[in-house]
């Protein structure tokens, strides 16, 4: 079980690091929005193009620098970039890594809206 959680955490960190490189301008934002697919368990970040999880049941995108939307069986997540970047910068060579702040976005968030499925 711990190996599964560690593997998932590593996958999230790699995906977000790649996301920061790809979307370098977003690194200064206070939060980064992600989607967690309740069906396939993928966690993925968003950009201006429509992105989907592995199973295709969850998808979303940014409309602009502030607003995002999604469809499907996804739960919106947020990472506080300041604490996440601090955890990356303080990655230990051994032992447990530093935690960072993550949260589930409220279901009626005005800037991260769930759209009805087609
Ligand atoms: Zn999925």
For 60-75, the pLDDT digits (tens) are: 999 998 899 999 999 9
Extract the tokens encoding 11.
């996958």
Who wins on pLDDT, 7 or 61? 61
Distance 59 CA to ligand 1 centre (A): 8
Distance 94 CA to ligand 1 centre (A): 32
44-60: average pLDDT? 96
Residue 26 above 80 pLDDT? no
Q: Are 27 and 82 in contact (CB under 8 A)?
A: no
Who wins on pLDDT, 12 or 44? 44
Pairwise CA distance, residues 31 & 57, whole Å:
24
Pairwise CA distance, residues 70 & 60, whole Å:
4
Handedness of CA 4, 80, 114, 52 (dihedral sign): negative
């Amino acid at each position: 079980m711990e190996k599964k959680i560690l593997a998932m955490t590593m996958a999230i960190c790699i995906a977000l690091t790649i996301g920061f490189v790809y979307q370098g301008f977003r690194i200064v934002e206070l939060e980064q929005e992600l989607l967690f697919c309740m069906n396939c368990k993928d966690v993925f970040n968003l950009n201006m193009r429509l992105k989907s999880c592995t199973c295709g049941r969850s998808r979303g995108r940014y409309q602009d620098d502030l607003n995002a939307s999604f469809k499907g069986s996804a739960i919106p997540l947020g990472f506080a970039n300041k604490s996440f970047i601090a955890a990356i910068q303080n990655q230990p060579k051994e032992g447990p890594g530093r935690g960072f702040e993550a949260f589930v976005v409220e279901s009626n968030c005005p800037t991260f809206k769930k759209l009805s499925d087609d």
